[in-house]
Structure 1
Amino acid sequence: MKTAILGNGCFWCTEAVFKRLKGVVSVVPGFSGGTIKNPAYREVIAGRTGHAEVLKIVYDETIIDFKKLLTVFFETHDPTTLNRQGNDIGTQYRSAIFYQDENQKSIAETILNDFTNSGVFENPIVTEITKFVAFYEAENYHHDYFESHQHEPYCNLVINPKLKKFVAKFQDDLK
């Protein structure tokens, strides 16, 4: 099993996407990239910790590879908005790849360059590629957020459209 740590906006939205991929064993929302040990959600969303909302994705490399995870990552959020995803604003919502080793770093740089050169995005990509240091798991009420709150307005207005776009684009990769 391999691990990827990715930040692409609100982890409620992104957890729902990555959980649906074949080969993904687990998806855990949390925080990474900051200076405070064991931060609480309320501290992170206040922008006082330097952490980004991230996902810890454990995956079976014989079924899905890091390159595919990053393709899904880039195609399911806007990597061109600095410290923002939709109405979520702040460094905690930044686009970030926290690489585990030099191989992940190399793949991340290649994929970022491929997307930059493809012209898919109108604006420059601002995704940071940073060495992984620590992951802090979010409080339990953040886990499986979409599955537990599907009828709430945020889920209907933000997560459902993201999932529909994802399912249409990555149908062959779904569990």
Structure 2
Amino acid sequence: MKARISYKYMIGIFAIILGFSVAVNAQKKDGSVQSGGNPKSKRLKMDKNKVDTATFAAGCFWCVEEQFKMLKGVISVTSGFTGGHVENPSYKDVTTGITGHAEACNIVYDPTKISYKELLQAFFVAHDPTQLNRQGEDIGTQYRSAIFYHNEEQKKEAQFYISRLDTEKAYQKKIVTEVSPFKKFYKAEDYHQNYYENNAKVPYCQLIIKPKVEKFKKAFAGKLK
């Protein structure tokens, strides 16, 4: 049976994450939440502030891309593949499930406007992290739930949130989200970029993506562009 997460349930998860994020800040000397130090992270200068990159896999990247690009502080979202063992895979290659890659999104953001903690909040609300190697009817390792960290700070925060969500029993089942080091990201073909925006009328977008996007908008109403 396909798992469905209600809007009320999503708000509950969001509240749990928001509540214990205060505890994380209390453990930091300056309360900052900035990721840095990894040369693989894409960094650009913008108003004298650095930008950072988060890489998430949460099922079909068409949906993930549309959700994250709505958030204030997110500069760009690129759909692609990561976590596999094949160089320069095509979408057709990845759909076989034998390249090891996950459909993922590279999210470039301004940490002065949105923190990595807030992106993690969005990640855990955007999909069901208890489904192993699938999201709904999209089945295969390419649709697995995964966080690809760019530095030790991102790794620690991701592991902390997963541990606390499981402890608080935010979901009915245990979280199966993979936490792995970011290595290489391959941009998907051009037609995958801004897919929902460019194909909103096709059945998959109307039946699968649109309902998830609408729930996401409600959960993050105060954080949308």
Q: Same fold (TM over 0.5)?
A: yes
Q: How does 1:68-79 map to 2 (within 5 A)?
A: 68-79=118-129
List per-residue Cα deviations over 1:49-83 (Å, max 9, x = no partner).
Answer: 00000000000000001111011101110100100
Amino acid at match of 2:154: Q
Structure 1: 5+ residue runs without aligned partners? none
How big is the shift at 1:120? 1.7
Identity of aligned residues (%): 52
- For 1:50, what is the secondary structure of its paired residue? coil
- What TM-score does the superposition give when structure 2 sets the normalisation length? 0.77
Show the counterpart of 2:181: 131
How big is the shift at 1:118? 2.1
Amino acid at match of 1:32: T
Residue 55 (1) aligns with residue 112 (2): no
- For 2:161, what is the secondary structure of its paired residue? helix
In structure 1, distance between residues paired with 2:218 and 2:170: 17
How big is the shift at 1:48? 1.7
Q: CA RMSD in A?
A: 0.6
In structure 1, distance between residues paired with 2:67 and 2:125: 11
Amino acid at match of 1:114: R
Q: How does 1:1-175 map to 2 (within 5 A)?
A: 1-175=51-225
- What TM-score does the superposition give when structure 1 sets the normalisation length? 0.99
Show the counterpart of 2:38: none
Larger radius of gyration: 2
In structure 1, distance between residues paired with 2:107 and 2:184: 14
List per-residue Cα deviations over 1:4-50 (Å, max 9, x = no partner).
Answer: 11000000011010010000000000000000011000000111200
How big is the shift at 1:116? 1.2
In structure 2, distance between residues paired with 1:144 and 1:5: 17
How big is the shift at 1:147? 0.3
Kindly indicate whether structure 1 or structure 2 has the higher relative contact order, using CA contacts under 8 Å at least 6 residues apart: 1
Structure 2: 5+ residue runs without aligned partners? 1-50
Runs of 4+ in 1 over 4 A off after TM superposition: none
